[in-house]
Chain A
Amino acid sequence: MPPEIEAIAEQVFAALADPSRRAVLAALASAGPATATDLAARLPITRQAIAKHLAVLAEAGLVTAEAGERRRVRYRLCSAPMQVAQQFLAALARDWDGPLGALKDHLDREN
C-alpha cells in the first residue's frame, strides 16, 4: 500500500475534525473560490482565524491559493484528497454481512 494514501486520509480527517475548518471547506464547496475576507464576512469567524485555517488547509492540499495580490488571493477547494478519504470511508461502509445474510435467506427460500 502506498504510504502516502494514509497520510492524505489522515490530513483530511484532521482538517475535518475542526468545526471552523469544516465551515470554511463547506463554504468553498457550496459557493466556489473565495478570499479570506469573503469567508470572514460569511462565517462567524474572524479574518485572522480564517487565514490561519486556510494556511492549515493549504498545507494539507485541501485548498489551493490562486495567484493574486495579497488580501485578494482566492482559495479554491481541492477534491483529490477528499476522494482518497472517501476510499477509506467506502471500505468502512462496505457491508458484506447484510448481503450474505440475504443470500442465505434467498437460498433457503428456494427450497
Chain B
Amino acid sequence: MGFPDRIERTVEVAHPPSKVWAALTTAEGLGAWFGNEAKIDLRPGGSAWMTWTNGHRADMRVERVEEPAVFGFTWGIDGLPEDDPRRTYVEFTLEATGTGTRLTVVETGFAQLPEDAHRKAYEGNTGGWASELGELVGYLDAA
C-alpha cells in the first residue's frame, strides 16, 4: 500500500531570503498567505497558531529558528484527537539563488507509530466515552 511518511516540495521565488523569511516567520506574513490570522513567538519552544475564517485552527510549536535559512515547527496530525502525542515536523529551508530564493518544505512523521505513545493512546481510549460517562454518573450519584 505504501504509507507516505515524508512530503517534500521545492519552489523558486523571485524574492530574497530575507523577504521570504518574514513571510514564513511573522504573524503578519503567516496571516496573509497561510492562515487568515496568526500569532507566533519566534524562538525554539515558542508557540504559534493560525486560524482560518472557516473555523479551522492550527497550533504549532516552533522548533528551529536559523534566520534566514531554516524554520521548523511541529503541529498535530489532522483528524487525530487534540491530546494525541503524534505530531508532524515541518521544516522550511531557504537557499539564496542568483535571482531569489529556493524554498523547500519538508513535512515528516505521518507514518510514525511511537510504540509507547500509541499504546498509551490506545489504552487511554479503550474506555472512551463509556468510562467518562460512567465517571460522570458516579460523580452525580455521589453529589
Looking at the complex, which of A19-27, A38-46, A52-60, A91-99 is the stretch in contact with chain B?
Answer: A91-99
Contact A80:B111 (CB < 8 A) given known A86-B80, A99-B33, A107-B13: no
Q: Which chain A residues lie closer than 8 Å to B121 at the CB level?
A: 80, 83
Does B19 contact A96, Cβ atoms closer than 8 Å?
A: no
The docked-state distance in angstroms from the alpha carbon of A103 to that of B9 is 13
Does B113 contact A84, Cβ atoms closer than 8 Å?
A: yes
User: A2: which of B15, B107, B113 is its contact (CB, 8 Å)?
Assistant: B113
Most chain-B CB neighbours within 10 Å: which of A6, A10, A105?
A6
Q: How many A-B residue pairs have CB under 8 A?
A: 114
Contact A91:B128 (CB < 8 A) given known A1-B111, A9-B1, A80-B122: no
User: B130: which of A32, A88, A106, A108 is its contact (CB, 8 Å)?
Assistant: A32
Contact A106:B3 (CB < 8 A) given known A2-B113, A86-B79, A90-B78: no
Q: Which chain B residues lie closer than 8 Å to A92 at the CB level?
A: 4
- 26 A-B residue pairings within 8 Å (CB atoms): A1-B5, A2-B111, A2-B115, A9-B3, A10-B1, A32-B129, A64-B126, A78-B125, A78-B126, A80-B121, A86-B80, A87-B3, A87-B79, A87-B112, A88-B110, A91-B4, A91-B5, A91-B111, A99-B34, A100-B105, A103-B103, A104-B11, A105-B33, A106-B33, A107-B13, A107-B14
Chain B residues in the interface with A (C-beta under 8 A): 1-5, 7, 9, 11, 13-15, 19-20, 23-24, 29, 32-34, 77-81, 84, 86, 88, 103, 105, 107, 110-113, 115, 118, 121-122, 125-126, 128-130
Chain A residues in the interface with B (C-beta under 8 A): 1-2, 4-6, 9-10, 13, 32-33, 64, 76, 78-80, 83-84, 86-94, 96-97, 99-100, 102-108, 110-111
